[in-house]
Amino acid sequence: MLKLELDPDMQNRARKAAASIAGSFQWLFDDYSSVTIERTVLRLLGIDGATEDGTPYPNIVVDHLQQRNALLRGAAIPLANAIIYTGMSAQQIAEEIAQGNLDLTKTPVASPDKIFQVLDELSDKMLKHIAKQRETREQLLQTYGPRRIPAIYVIVATGNIYEDVIQAKAAAYEGADIIAVIRSTAQSLLDYVPYGATTEGFGGTYATQENFRIMRAALDEVSASEKRYIGLTNYASGLCMPEIAAMGAMERLDHMLNDAMYGILFRDINPKRTLLDQYFSRMINAYAGIEIQTGEDNYLTTSDAIEKAYTVTASQLLNEQFALLSGVKPEKMGLGHAFEIDPDLEDSFTYELAHALLTRELFPGYPVKYMPPTKFATGNIFKTYLMDAMFNFAGKLTHQGVQLLGMMTEAIHTPHLADRSLAIENALYIFNAIKSLDENITLVPDSFINRRANKVLKEATEFLERVEKEGLFKAMERGEFADIKRTENGGKGLNGVFRKDVEYFNPFLEKMKKELGL
């Protein structure tokens, strides 16, 4: 077995610093909410659909309350009040508001007891549905057996959900274990979730609840015929993080890209908005048994993969601590990293092994997610195919949880059907060829790999301790993460963050916290 000897003191110091950084945001989690969190509550209370011009009803209701300065208690209380007063369903109320027939601030006020009773019933109904979805997944995994290690993860991105289904099914029949439907490229910056089945997108397909449902049904069909559970992934990121998590929970998605800091650094979304939204979205994921995945690969595509290797480790540790605060269990934390070292560098693969083992051993039992070479994929498909093979070799040898397969046509186009198939063939060949190789080999004492892994861990620890002292926002302001500078009050979406009133109530937050033991 390839086994590192990681300095236990250093591990403790790194985790302690990361925990202290994540823990310093309790004020934000306790005292604030955001427009997308409120829209999530409305979705979970049964509001769906969109007006003819495409504005989703959850947005209509939240905007309606915000314009009347009536959102500070959250969206749940005014909605429940209107349900009691009108006798209509949540959906009907949203439609009446859109028509201009109803003003939530002008309905007579019901007694708190009645309001809480309505919210209790509605939230119970939804939480039961989500729990049922979670049980269905667990049951299917039990019937079909556990997931392959590493699980084979591929992406579809045609822009058309029906075309995506064809490609996803083909990939699943060939051996893919997890399908990710890449989102249309601008979706992370939309402050609403589009509605319905979609057939046009750029660089991907819109994440909508209907699209989730269509793909989940298609993959269930393959799971049943292949006797292998095919997981489905989407992206709970951007300005609608918790809404997408909720949609995924309702439709039984199995994984969600859900990074605590990605939106801040790589999409210029306001830091407070992002941290707040990730807190609630991860809680939904935790409750639904959805495995979260984090985007540390992005640190290496913008910076040098050796010099900045420690930023990956540091971010993994921060993501871990933020996830724990939301009740995500380690076995559901797919912390990310990537195979992005310059292939021209001598011993590049040896470095990669050191980094891959570091992630593996720092997070034992976590379904860590390994990302393929992209930065040095230049359009020479033959070379890229070879690099992908080396990547698959490293992934299998070090038992990564999820292997996001590289495509030989990286940097050329979104994968063609045959590109994806060749990538799966590559992985299946290597996984089979070195199935038990790891049981036969060890690292020599004082190996370069061991020294390198400890060096990265030490750099990450010192970095986290510096950030702890300085504060996360200050560190981001100085460009300490990925050389990108972000300010506390800069970026998109800050105007959607608000301080909660003392009477604020979010039935899902309360119940999920209780259920998750937070």
Any idea which residues carry the catalytic annotation?
A: 262, 297, 369
Nearer to another protein, 61 or 168 (CB): 168
In the list 88, 166, 197, 224, the residue contacting another protein (rule: CB under 8 A) is 166
What angle, 0 to 180 degrees and rounded to 10, lies between the N-to-C axes of helices 348-362 and 448-470? 60
Q: How many CB atoms lie within 10 A of CB 115?
A: 20
Indicate whether 375 belongs to the interface with another protein (CB under 8 A): yes
In the list 85, 116, 162, 173, the residue contacting another protein (rule: CB under 8 A) is 173
Indicate whether 217 belongs to the interface with another protein (CB under 8 A): no
> In this structure, what token pair is assigned to residue 422?
């060749």
Provide the 3-class DSSP secondary structure of residue 477.
helix
Indicate whether 295 belongs to the interface with another protein (CB under 8 A): no
The least CB distance from residue 452 to another protein, in Å, is 21
The least CB distance from residue 157 to another protein, in Å, is 8
In the list 81, 188, 208, 258, the residue contacting another protein (rule: CB under 8 A) is 188
Count of positions on this chain that bind another protein (CB under 8 A) = 39
- Amino acid identity of residue 262, one-letter, is Y
Nearer to another protein, 217 or 417 (CB): 417
> In this structure, what token pair is assigned to residue 404?
């996001």
What is the number of helices (H) and of strands (E) in the chain? 20, 11
In the list 302, 350, 447, 454, the residue contacting another protein (rule: CB under 8 A) is 302
Report how far residue 285's alpha carbon sits from residue 255's, in angstroms, rounded to the nearest whole number: 8
In the list 217, 418, 433, 437, the residue contacting another protein (rule: CB under 8 A) is 418
Site string for another protein, 326-365 (x = CB under 8 A): ----------------x-----------------------
Instruction: Tell me phi and psi for residue 234, to 5 degrees.
Output: -145, -165
Q: Is 491 left (phi over 0), alpha (psi -120 to 50) or beta?
A: left
> In this structure, what token pair is assigned to residue 182?
């890449």
Indicate whether 477 belongs to the interface with another protein (CB under 8 A): no
Report how far residue 357's alpha carbon sits from residue 338's, in angstroms, rounded to the nearest whole number: 12
Report how far residue 143's alpha carbon sits from residue 430's, in angstroms, rounded to the nearest whole number: 27
Report how far residue 322's alpha carbon sits from residue 279's, in angstroms, rounded to the nearest whole number: 7
In the list 301, 350, 447, 454, the residue contacting another protein (rule: CB under 8 A) is 301
Report how far residue 207's alpha carbon sits from residue 204's, in angstroms, rounded to the nearest whole number: 9
The least CB distance from residue 414 to another protein, in Å, is 6
Stretch that binds another protein, among 146-154, 184-192, 358-366, 503-511 (CB under 8 A): 184-192
Beta strands 497-499 and 178-181, pairing class? unpaired
The least CB distance from residue 297 to another protein, in Å, is 12
Report how far residue 383's alpha carbon sits from residue 228's, in angstroms, rounded to the nearest whole number: 32
The least CB distance from residue 408 to another protein, in Å, is 11
In the list 20, 89, 350, 414, the residue contacting another protein (rule: CB under 8 A) is 414
Indicate whether 174 belongs to the interface with another protein (CB under 8 A): yes
Beta strands 32-34 and 369-371, pairing class? unpaired
Angle at Cα 458 formed by Cα 456 and Cα 459, nearest 5°? 65
- Amino acid identity of residue 196, one-letter, is G
Indicate whether 184 belongs to the interface with another protein (CB under 8 A): yes
Nearer to another protein, 47 or 422 (CB): 422
Indicate whether 234 belongs to the interface with another protein (CB under 8 A): no
Nearer to another protein, 46 or 175 (CB): 175
Stretch that binds another protein, among 90-98, 130-138, 405-413, 427-435 (CB under 8 A): 405-413
